[in-house]
Structure formats: C-alpha cells, structure tokens
Chains A and B, each alone.
Chain A
Amino acid sequence: MAHTWKEQLDRLMKQGAAYADVRYYPREDSLSMVMLNGNMRSFDKQRESGFGVRVLADGAWGFAASSNLADITGTFDKALSNARAAAGRMTRPIRLADKEVLSGRFISPCEEDTLLVPLDEQAAFLRKMDEAMNKPGVTQRVAYIMALSRQVEYYDTEGAEIYKETRELFPSIFVKGRDVGGETQGRSYSPPRMGNTRGWEIMQEAHWLGEAERIVRELNETLVAPKCPHDVRSVILMPDQMFLQVHETIGHPLELDRILGYELSYAGGSFVRLEDFGRLQYGTKKLNVRADALLPNSPGSFGYDDDGVAAQNYMLIKEGVLVGAITSRQMVTEANERAGREIFGSSGGTARATSFYRTPLERMTNISVDPGQDGSLRDIIASTEKGIVLSGDKSWSIGSNREQFHFANDYAYLVEDGQVKEVVRSAAYKGDTLPFYNSLSAVGDRSTWEVQYVPNCGKGMPSQVMQLGHGVPVCRFDHVKVGE
C-alpha cells in the first residue's frame, strides 16, 4: 500500500496542500473478556482497519477517514475540501514546527502476545481469579482482561515513513461488598508496569492469587470500618492514587492545546498561562515531574508520535518550578508566537490519535514523578503526626481549568503520631491544585515508585480514549481536607 499512500499525498500537494499525512491501520485487533460473578458476561474480539488523512491547506486542518479501501481517492479529496472549508473561518494560520524527517520502526517489548495465548487458557485464568475472590463479604466480583495489537503505517509529505507495532494488555480484578451502613464499597487491583514487557507473561498466577486475597481482605476491613473523619490531615497517597492525582492535576493542565484554549468547549482549559513557564512555583522543591515516553514497559511509550516525531524524555517541573509542557508541532509554534518569545524549542513528540479515524492531539506520555529522598512508606508514616494513607481510585472530579479537585478512595487508614491506626471507609479528599502541590512534604524513594497505567484517558472532539502511564512514588501532602 505504501506506493498508493505516497501517490495520494503527492496528488494533494499538487492540488495546493501545504502538508498532509496518512495513517493506515492494516489491522488493529483487540480482545476483551469480562467475568462477572463467575459469568463470562463479555467475550469479545474486535478488528478494525482503515485509514485517516490529515491535510493542512490554506492554513487550516482538514481530516477524513474511512474503513472503506475502495474509496481512497474520495477520502483524500474530502480531507482537502474540509481543510479549505475550515480556512473560511480562520484567525491564525496553522504552522508546524520543524522536525527531523524520520524513517523508523517501533515494536513494543513483549515476550508473549496476549492475542496468541489460547483463549481457554485466558478464560481459565479469569475463572481462577473469580474463584479466589469468591469469599465471605464479597457480593460482586469482576475479573477483566483487555488486550490489543495494533499495526500502524505513517507517511507524510515531508518524507517520513514510520511503522509501529504495539501490543498492550490491561488486566484487572475488582470486588465489591456492602458495609455496616448498607453502602457499597469496592477494592481493585491493576498491576503496575515494572520490568520490560507488555505481554501475557505478567499474568503470573501466584502473584495474582496473592493480590486477589489482598483486595478481599482489605475490602472486608473496609466493610466494618468507621467512616472517615471530616477534618484536615496530611494525606499519604499510595501509587495507585498518586498516579491519578498527577494525571488530573499535572498531566492535563500541562497539555499545551488545553493551555492555548483548544479544549475549552469540552474537556476544559488550564489554570496555567504561557507566562508561567520558567516562573510558576507549581509545588515544593521536592516535586520533579517529567514526560518520559521512553519507558519501555508502558502504554505511554510509542516510539514515534502521530506527527512523525520521535518519542522523548524531558522535564515538566523541576524542583517545583514549571519548565515544560506536553507539546506537538502545531502548538509549540503557536505558543511561541502568542508569547512573543521562544518557550518551546521543538515538539515534545506527544501528538497521538486513538485510532485511524481520529486526529492526533497532545496526549500524556508517561507523566512521572521522580523518586525522592524521604525513604520508604514506613519512613514517611513514621514522620507523619496526623495523617491518612489513601489507596485506590474510587471516583474523581476536577475543575474545568484543573484548578481544584475531589477524589474518593477505596481503602484508607489513619496515621497518628507516626503510627498506623484504624482503617476507615468512604474516604475522600479535596483541594486546590497549586496549594496542594505546594504542601508536598515527602516524596518516597525508589522502593515506593511504580508505573501505573491509564487505559482510558478521554479527551478531544470527536472524543478519543488513550492509553498512557505514570511512574509515581508514595507522596505526602499536608493540611488537606478529608472526608466526603
């Protein structure tokens, strides 16, 4: 097909396009299996194939996509005509930052492709997990696997040719029960991404049985626990909550398209302004955050983005000061123009599309907090006077500019005078983003650091879900409102 795509791209350039790219998905296969209380309620295989064409003409973007390979020319023409129509209401002609023209391949590391594992083996695994969770106190149990394998060919009019082959596996287990007050409580486990792989080999039975036993035990502790007090405490966020805190209140507000107003009508804006880069004290000096698309084991690592730019690892927040953003070719140019100074040297390589029929957007890669020097979880608890340890993302709700937030958690226990005290139920905390990060008082060391993943980050119109990661340590924040 390469010849066809290049021929079509050349044709668009001859018709006056300034730039065009095409992403062809020969195949994207996915598998989902959901076992709910022992019943395989969903057993689903999907295959998608098609192509999407993005054209820059007269300073505006046009895009068209089709699952029908019989109408390639018509789809390319549609993208061009959409661009020309868009140019009819344009305030700032789009310009793309320079990039190195690349020919490359990216194959995600994987020892055992989940989609090649016999289905009966996978079903048996889920059944074992289900049986392990079928214990007193548990009223609902879910075991889940979602796997995908995606092939993408990318070509653009600047000469880039890139082939990507990505395999992902997103498993989880989840239990629910009714607490002493009659309300529903839950506990779940999704494995962190450690090591160097994304395949079925992470499904080690002994490990998963241990995790199933743990979440059932912690659920039962929660079911009989007193309600979380409503007061002001230090919150100690475990990695399975810290990742979401980072995702919602560092990752999203630092997407440059949000900062420039491109998400205002849906996902929202950002409290961050262009003049904040290099100046804003986002957090205490303990806070170091990077966009690292080179971690081998995470869905936030992809080789090359959908602008054809190589994946990178760079700082967003250095010793608490805002220094970088999540950027693409279009947005760095516009940001520098609007700021009247060069804030961003080049694209950070974060433009990604969820499928062939969606356009690339600034998406988080692995937005990770560097490990700190405040020791282990035990060390952090020992130095906490009045706190609460929070684990498991139960619910989340964030202000439209990411300026404030409310999170609820599955599992929590109090800390008093450096000692672990009782488990509490229905824990939640809330706060304002900048004061929160400026109350960061402890960052755990490497022993506490885990790469958590997000399989379903939503953004954009038409809407897209994206898979990404967060490497995070245990962190403590002071003077936080807790309770419902």
Chain B
Amino acid sequence: MQMNKAIENLQALREYAVKQGVKATLTLHQEDSHLVRLANSGVSLNTSEALSRISVTTYGENKTATAQVMCDLDDTDSLFETVDKAKGMLAFASPLSYQPTFPEIEKSSQQQAGYDEKLAHISNEDILAYINQATQGLESEDVQLSGNFSVGATLVVQMSTATPHHVAWQASDAQITLVLASLQDKWEINAEQSATRLNDLDAPAMRARLAFLKDKYQNCPAVQLPLGPCRVVFGAAATAEYLNFLSFLGGDGGMMKRDSSINSMDDIGKQKLSPQVTLIEDPACLDTFAMPVDGYGRAREARAIYDQGVFTGFIWSQSAADEYGEQATGHDVMHRSFRLAPGKTPVNGLEELSRMPRDCDILYVPYLHYTGLVNASEGLITGTSRFGALLFKQDGSVVVPYNVRFTEKLGDLFGDKLQWLSTETCAYNVSSTYDARDPEALVVPQLMCCDNVKVEISNQSY
C-alpha cells in the first residue's frame, strides 16, 4: 500500500475524467486488514483482506450521482468504466432543491502522522505473543478466552476535476478485545485496547485488568440487583457509547434538521449539560485516527461542541450546509475526532475506584451491550451492562452483579446526573468492520460517575 502509487492511480483517473468533460470528485480507498479471532481459547479464524475501492461522484446542475467499484487498481478499464457510469447516471438523477458545492482542493496535503508500518504489518507470531502475554495463567478448563485482534492500514486519496491537487491520508490501527468467560457460570469479563502505533500495545495492562476482574468474578458473591435508582460509575467503553450518541444527536446540524437531535438552533449558547462536560472535535488528536484536512481540502481546527456544558453550535457537513443554507464547518471526513475533556476526580482505574471512600453502593459498568436509540429527539438510549460489572458496596465489600438494563436520556446522564469525571483519559476504539476499513476512536475520561441511574431490568443469573 504505497501512497505515491495510489496518488498516481487517482491522477490517471482524474485525467481521464477531465478528458471526458466530467465534473467529478474521485476517492480511492485501500485497506490491508488482518484479524485474528479467538474462541474457546483457540484461534477460530485468521483472516487477511487486501481491498481497493474507487468512488466517483459526478456533479451537474442541482444533481449528483455516484458510482463505486471494488477491483484491481491496475484494471484501468474497470476504473474508467466507473467514471463513464457515474457520468451516465447523472442524467437520471432527480434534481435537488439546492446546488451541491463542488470541491476545489487548493493545496495538496499528505498526512501520515498516524501511520506506523510496524503496527500495520505486525506478524502472526507477534499477535499470538501479545495474546499469550495478556492472558498468561488466566485460562482454565472452565475459563476460556475469546476475542479479536484487528489490525491494519487504511489509505484514502481524494481529488476533484477542479484542480490537480489531492488530499491523502494514511493510518495504521489496532482494535483489541480479549474476553474471559466461564463455560459453566456464563460470566464474561474483558479488556480492550486501541492502538495507533506498535509501541501503544500494552499486553501487561490487559493482563492486569483481566486478572483483577477474574479474581472478583471467581471469589465474590454474585447477586441480582434490585430495580430502581443507583449510583453508577461507567467505564471507558460505556462512556464512549453514550458519547458517540451525544456527538451526533447533540452536535450534528443535519440530524437536527431531520428531527433527530436533542438540540435546536435556539439552544445555541445555552447551558444544556453539566459544567463538567466539554466535548471537543479535535482533528489534532492522533489517538482518534484524526483526519486534519477534510475532503474539500479544508484544514480542520479543534472546536468545542459543548464548552463546560454550554452548547456552542452545530457541526455542518457540506451537503447538509448546502441543503439548509448553513456554513460548512470542515467536517467532511470519513470519521470525526471527539474527545471529552477530563474531570477533576483523581480516580482513574478499578483499583482506585475500589479504594475510594463511598457513602453508598457504587455499580461499576464498564461496557454497554447492544444499545438502542429509543427516541432520538429525547436522546433516550437503552442498553444492558456487560463484561465485568462490579458492585462496590458501601461497607467496603465487593459483589458481582448480574447484568442490568438502563434506559436513560443523554441530557440527564451528561447533565444533572453527572457526578464526576476522572482526571485521566484514554482512547476507546469504536471502529466498525462492517464495510471499508475506517479506524475511529473517542477519547474519554477513564471513569464517569452518574447518580440516580435507574435499573429497569435485572437479570436473575449470568
């Protein structure tokens, strides 16, 4: 996967498009993906995919049309055919009520700050060594390992026929999840890690977390929690899950115009969340696999969506801005880069949380499974705890709770219910592997404490 070669490929395609008299944007996406999947303490699948995609969007008067192809990049006939197809489709595109802005990239940009060849092409042997180190001595006949070690590289090049300039971006990424589960009792605990470089990999930290949780799950009594309100400390995965919803339900202008937002234009400048909440979209934050230049060639800048709880305004993609007469904010990127600023409570891990003085029971929920958006305009989210919940009792003891379900509003969790945030943050990888590789992470405080979170379903067993 060579950036220069990819740029040359796309330039050739651009020249063809120009010769055809087509007004178009052209995007090349290449991925080298490698995933080792574990189940029942063995490798259940070891897979590699080398895939190349070309996308061509043609522009006409109040119209666009897109043709995409996944094929061999040296198959120029297929690539040229994609331009022809997009050109041909334009005649049949239904007119829009607005004129889409055509990208005119003014300056070429090549970003490789987040690319580490050593991580991108880590060997099978090194992956297995990491897994073995992270789980050393923790598996047994009953306690078995599952997980995923997903690693790879992504290369994206964008151009338009307006100028010969390009925006190119390459990143390496790893998303690691290791799960220990009891075959007999069916409990599950996990440890996760996000990496941008090989040096980020930290198998001992993964092992320490798994060992701590395993000890508790094997030695502490298990209980069914009562229904009703409780104090909950969310781990990074759960916080990131809620924050992901908040970022688009709270901050995306297009979502607001489509009646799927918890904010309106009238909310700009108002105190909407707790003063502890500062949510920033930060294209300089490499841990989020940030893209510092967008597809229109705009250099992106950090921007607070919520500044100490005050809603500062919406993010507008170019297409939403065109449709609704707003100003685009430089967010036409494959993924955005959100980070929630840290808080003031110096409790940053499970050990510290377990030692923290407390005046009531504290339910630790590291992870939310299968969250559902019950109502977008209310910001109402439902989901169940998973992977290592603990109940730190007021009397200092620890018990293991069966999974519970919460259905809560984002405005409450990040508003009146928010008690404190940790002083340290971490990157939580939220990449999806459904489609083209697109590494994405949120930076969140290690822990987030909320009060009066209502348990509405409480399982009777694991």
B382 contacts A85, CB within 8 Å?
A: no
B384 contacts A400, CB within 8 Å?
A: yes
When each residue 34-75 of chain A gets 1 if its CB lies under 8 Å from chain B and 0 otherwise, what string results?
Answer: 011011111111111110000000001111111111110001
CA distance A400 to B132 in the complex (A): 26
CA distance A399 to B96 in the complex (A): 42
B177 contacts A266, CB within 8 Å?
A: yes
Q: Tell whether A204 is near chain B: CB-to-CB under 8 Å.
A: no
B85 contacts A45, CB within 8 Å?
A: yes
Q: How far is the CB of A159 from chain B (nearest CB, A)?
A: 24
CA distance A255 to B95 in the complex (A): 45
CA distance A39 to B62 in the complex (A): 10
By a CB distance below 8 angstroms, the chain B residues around A139 are 259
Q: Tell whether B416 is near chain A: CB-to-CB under 8 Å.
A: no
Q: Tell whether B193 is near chain A: CB-to-CB under 8 Å.
A: no
Q: Tell whether A157 is near chain B: CB-to-CB under 8 Å.
A: no
A359 contacts B47, CB within 8 Å?
A: yes
Q: Tell whether B386 is near chain A: CB-to-CB under 8 Å.
A: yes
A47 contacts B386, CB within 8 Å?
A: no
Q: How far is the CB of A342 from chain B (nearest CB, A)?
A: 20
Interface residues on A, range: 35 or more
Q: Tell whether B40 is near chain A: CB-to-CB under 8 Å.
A: yes
Q: Tell whether A386 is near chain B: CB-to-CB under 8 Å.
A: no
By a CB distance below 8 angstroms, the chain B residues around A67 are 50-53, 70-72
Q: Tell whether B258 is near chain A: CB-to-CB under 8 Å.
A: yes
Q: Tell whether A269 is near chain B: CB-to-CB under 8 Å.
A: yes
Query: B433 contacts which of A43, A89, A403, A461 (Cβ < 8 Å)?
Result: A461
Q: How far is the CB of B171 from chain A (nearest CB, A)?
A: 18
Given contacts A63-B46, A64-B47, contact A400 B386 (CB under 8 A): yes
The interface residues of chain A, by DSSP majority, are classed as: mixed
A265 contacts B70, CB within 8 Å?
A: no
| Contact residues of A between 430 and 475, Cβ < 8 Å to B | 430, 432, 458, 461-465
B150 contacts A462, CB within 8 Å?
A: yes
By a CB distance below 8 angstroms, the chain A residues around B386 are 268, 400
B66 contacts A44, CB within 8 Å?
A: yes
Q: Tell whether B405 is near chain A: CB-to-CB under 8 Å.
A: yes
B374 contacts A408, CB within 8 Å?
A: yes
A43 contacts B405, CB within 8 Å?
A: no
When each residue 89-132 of chain A gets 1 if its CB lies under 8 Å from chain B and 0 otherwise, what string results?
Answer: 11110000000000000000000000000111001001100000
Q: How far is the CB of B389 from chain A (nearest CB, A)?
A: 11
B384 contacts A49, CB within 8 Å?
A: no
Q: How far is the CB of A482 from chain B (nearest CB, A)?
A: 13
When each residue 131-148 of chain B gets 1 if its CB lies under 8 Å from chain A and 0 otherwise, what string results?
Answer: 110000000000010111
B51 contacts A88, CB within 8 Å?
A: no
A69 contacts B46, CB within 8 Å?
A: no
Pick out which of these stretches binds chain B: A12-20, A194-202, A390-398: A390-398
CA distance A463 to B64 in the complex (A): 30
Q: Tell whether B230 is near chain A: CB-to-CB under 8 Å.
A: no
Given contacts A127-B94, A465-B434, contact A484 B42 (CB under 8 A): no
By a CB distance below 8 angstroms, the chain A residues around B36 are 86
Q: Tell whether B378 is near chain A: CB-to-CB under 8 Å.
A: yes
In the complex, which of the residues A60, A82, A89, A269 has the most CB atoms of chain B within 10 Å of its own CB atom? A89
The interface residues of chain B, by DSSP majority, are classed as: strand
Q: Tell whether A173 is near chain B: CB-to-CB under 8 Å.
A: no
Q: Tell whether A150 is near chain B: CB-to-CB under 8 Å.
A: no
A406 contacts B407, CB within 8 Å?
A: yes
A39 contacts B323, CB within 8 Å?
A: yes
In the complex, which of the residues B75, B128, B374, B386 has the most CB atoms of chain A within 10 Å of its own CB atom? B374
Q: Tell whether B294 is near chain A: CB-to-CB under 8 Å.
A: no
By a CB distance below 8 angstroms, the chain B residues around A484 are 374, 380, 407
A90 contacts B43, CB within 8 Å?
A: yes
CA distance A50 to B147 in the complex (A): 28
When each residue 118-157 of chain A gets 1 if its CB lies under 8 Å from chain B and 0 otherwise, what string results?
Answer: 1110010011000000000001100000000000000000
By a CB distance below 8 angstroms, the chain B residues around A214 are none
Q: Tell whether B212 is near chain A: CB-to-CB under 8 Å.
A: no
B372 contacts A261, CB within 8 Å?
A: no
Q: Tell whether B48 is near chain A: CB-to-CB under 8 Å.
A: yes
A82 contacts B40, CB within 8 Å?
A: no
Q: Tell whether A426 is near chain B: CB-to-CB under 8 Å.
A: yes
Q: Tell whether B93 is near chain A: CB-to-CB under 8 Å.
A: yes
B45 contacts A400, CB within 8 Å?
A: no
A35 contacts B374, CB within 8 Å?
A: no
Given contacts A265-B147, A461-B148, A464-B434, contact A63 B47 (CB under 8 A): yes
Q: Tell whether A260 is near chain B: CB-to-CB under 8 Å.
A: yes
B49 contacts A61, CB within 8 Å?
A: no
Query: B188 contacts which of A40, A264, A465 (Cβ < 8 Å)?
Result: A264
CA distance A66 to B47 in the complex (A): 11
A264 contacts B382, CB within 8 Å?
A: no
Given contacts A66-B49, A357-B49, contact A398 B259 (CB under 8 A): no
| Contact residues of A between 401 and 441, Cβ < 8 Å to B | 401, 403-404, 406, 408, 426, 428, 430, 432
Q: Tell whether A78 is near chain B: CB-to-CB under 8 Å.
A: yes
Pick out which of these stretches binds chain B: A2-10, A176-184, A232-240, A306-314: A176-184
Q: Tell whether B67 is near chain A: CB-to-CB under 8 Å.
A: yes
By a CB distance below 8 angstroms, the chain B residues around A36 are 258
B369 contacts A268, CB within 8 Å?
A: yes
CA distance A20 to B412 in the complex (A): 54
B93 contacts A43, CB within 8 Å?
A: yes
CA distance A38 to B95 in the complex (A): 9
CA distance A47 to B75 in the complex (A): 14
When each residue 385-422 of chain B gets 1 if its CB lies under 8 Å from chain A and 0 otherwise, what string results?
Answer: 01000000000000000010101000000000000000
CA distance A394 to B41 in the complex (A): 38
CA distance A408 to B375 in the complex (A): 9
Q: Tell whether A277 is near chain B: CB-to-CB under 8 Å.
A: no
A61 contacts B46, CB within 8 Å?
A: yes
Query: A82 contacts which of B46, B51, B98 (Cβ < 8 Å)?
Result: B46
Closest to B125 in A: A85
By a CB distance below 8 angstroms, the chain B residues around A82 are 46-48, 124
Q: Tell whether B35 is near chain A: CB-to-CB under 8 Å.
A: yes
B89 contacts A266, CB within 8 Å?
A: no
By a CB distance below 8 angstroms, the chain B residues around A289 are none
Query: A184 contacts which of B44, B49, B94, B260 (Cβ < 8 Å)?
Result: B260
Q: How far is the CB of A392 from chain B (nearest CB, A)?
A: 13
Q: Tell whether B327 is near chain A: CB-to-CB under 8 Å.
A: no
B70 contacts A61, CB within 8 Å?
A: no
Given contacts A67-B50, A395-B382, contact A265 B177 (CB under 8 A): yes
By a CB distance below 8 angstroms, the chain A residues around B48 are 63-65, 78-79, 82
Residues of B within 8 A of A (CB): 33, 35-53, 63-75, 78, 82, 85-86, 89, 92-98, 124-125, 128, 131-132, 144, 146-148, 150, 177-179, 181, 183, 186, 188, 190, 258-260, 319, 323, 369-378, 380, 382-384, 386, 403, 405, 407, 432-434, 456-457, 459-460, 462
Q: In the A-B complex, list the 7 residue pairs whose CB atoms are closest, starting with the nearest.
A: A397-B372, A85-B124, A119-B92, A86-B43, A40-B94, A86-B46, A264-B146
Residues of A within 8 A of B (CB): 35-36, 38-50, 60-71, 75, 78-79, 81-83, 85-92, 118-120, 123, 126-127, 139-140, 176-178, 182-184, 260-266, 268-269, 271, 357, 359, 394-401, 403-404, 406, 408, 426, 428, 430, 432, 458, 461-465, 484
A-B contact pairs, 10 of them (CB 8 A): A43-B89, A45-B66, A49-B70, A67-B51, A67-B71, A67-B72, A90-B43, A260-B40, A399-B370, A406-B405
